[in-house]
């Protein structure tokens, strides 16, 4: 097992760069990685020379979401037949709080998204104050089809009710260009221009005193807290556990364990029928025909 950090940390020119560092799995998330991310955010906040935090992904993607090879195919952390909802809630609430350290950070955070920010990866990106995407990058929450509920609940706060429902009732993904048009993210630029666009914004912000940045951010965040962000996240986190232990959630895990998570997610994400109450698992030929 690799001992290399799953989140890299470096600083320069009043900026901290946090890099999700599991490129071989498209930066698939683990609970340990969530803890490392929160530790890196805390480290940046403790550094008086840092004024802005930039979050990015190593390799071809920002993040492909939770590591389904571990959590679905191999059943890591699966509680078996006797599910304890509070134990599940405590674990997922902790992960959500780790991601939301980006939102609660006194220093502004910018997500730089290339490739994909999907499933749990979208939770991480949308926990940042500002999100810039490559125009051809994809963002979405496919587990809304089965086996997940976005625990940060940021889709509705960023998009409004109707477009949040459009995304979460289908599990579709959209491009960075469409995400910017809808107001889900701040801006989308050609992939070759993404680094420069993020640097220009971060450099502009980094000339503002840290206390000014903190006060403006706290004021805006308070408006979201007044709208019930915390209680919405509590409900979303409970629902996330239920989706993974419902009959359909158990069906999805059985699917992943029998045929591999690639087949299970292909069926789910391409629009294969997910039967109410579970049912027969599609054959390999049915999956291939999608």
Over its length of 290 residues, how does the chain's per-residue pLDDT go in tens digits?
Answer: 467 999 999 999 999 999 999 999 999 999 999 999 999 999 999 999 999 999 999 999 999 999 999 988 887 777 777 899 999 999 999 999 999 999 999 999 999 999 999 999 999 999 999 999 999 999 999 999 999 999 999 999 999 999 999 999 999 999 999 999 999 999 999 999 999 999 999 999 999 999 999 999 999 999 999 999 999 999 999 999 999 999 999 999 999 999 999 999 999 999 999 999 999 999 999 999 99
What pLDDT score was predicted for residue 78? 72
Distance CA 88, CA 31 (A): 12
Residue 196, both tokens: 């420069």
Angle 76-78-80 from CA coordinates, rounded to 5°: 135
Domain boundaries, the chain: 7-242, 246-290
Measured torsion, CA atoms of residues 30, 34, 35, 40, in degrees rounded to the nearest 10 = 130
Residue 279, both tokens: 């049912």
What pLDDT score was predicted for residue 81? 73
Domain 7-242, architecture per CATH: Alpha-Beta Complex (3.90)
Do residues 146 and 89 touch, judged by C-beta distance below 8 A?
no
C-alpha dist (Å) from residue 29 to 70, 98, 243, 264? 10, 12, 18, 18
Residue 228, both tokens: 């019930």
Distance CA 105, CA 209 (A): 15
What pLDDT score was predicted for residue 2? 60
What pLDDT score was predicted for residue 236? 98
Helix, strand and coil content of the chain, in percent to the nearest 5, comes to: 50, 15, 35
């Amino acid at each position: 097992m690799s001992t290399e950090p799953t989140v890299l940390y470096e600083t320069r020119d009043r900026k901290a760069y946090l890099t999700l560092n599991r490129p071989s799995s498209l930066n698939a998330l683990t609970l340990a990685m969530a803890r490392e991310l929160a530790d890196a955010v805390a480290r940046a906040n403790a550094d008086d020379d840092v004024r802005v935090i930039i979050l990015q992904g190593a390799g071809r993607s920002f993040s492909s979401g939770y590591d389904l090879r571990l959590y679905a195919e191999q059943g890591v952390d699966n509680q078996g037949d006797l599910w304890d909802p509070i134990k599940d809630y405590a674990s997922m609430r902790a992960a959500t709080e780790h991601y939301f350290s980006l939102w609660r950070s006194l220093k502004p955070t910018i997500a730089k998204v290339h490739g994909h920010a999907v499933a749990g990866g979208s939770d991480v990106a949308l926990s940042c104050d500002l999100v810039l995407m490559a125009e051809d990058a994809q963002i979405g929450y496919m587990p809304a089809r089965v086996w997940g509920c976005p625990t940060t609940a940021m889709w509705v706060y960023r998009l409004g009710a109707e477009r949040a429902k459009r995304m979460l009732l289908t599990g579709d993904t959209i491009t960075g260009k469409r995400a910017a048009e809808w107001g889900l993210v701040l801006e989308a630029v050609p992939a070759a221009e993404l680094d420069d666009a993020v640097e220009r914004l971060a450099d502009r912000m980094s000339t503002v005193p840290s206390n000014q940045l903190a006060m403006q951010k706290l004021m805006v965040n308070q408006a979201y807290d007044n709208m019930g962000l915390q209680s919405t996240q509590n409900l979303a986190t409970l629902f996330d556990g239920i989706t993974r232990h419902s009959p359909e959630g158990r069906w999805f895990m059985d699917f992943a364990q029998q045929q591999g998570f690639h087949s299970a997610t292909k069926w789910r994400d391409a629009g294969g029928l997910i039967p109410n109450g579970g049912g027969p698992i599609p054959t390999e030929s049915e999956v291939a025909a999608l």
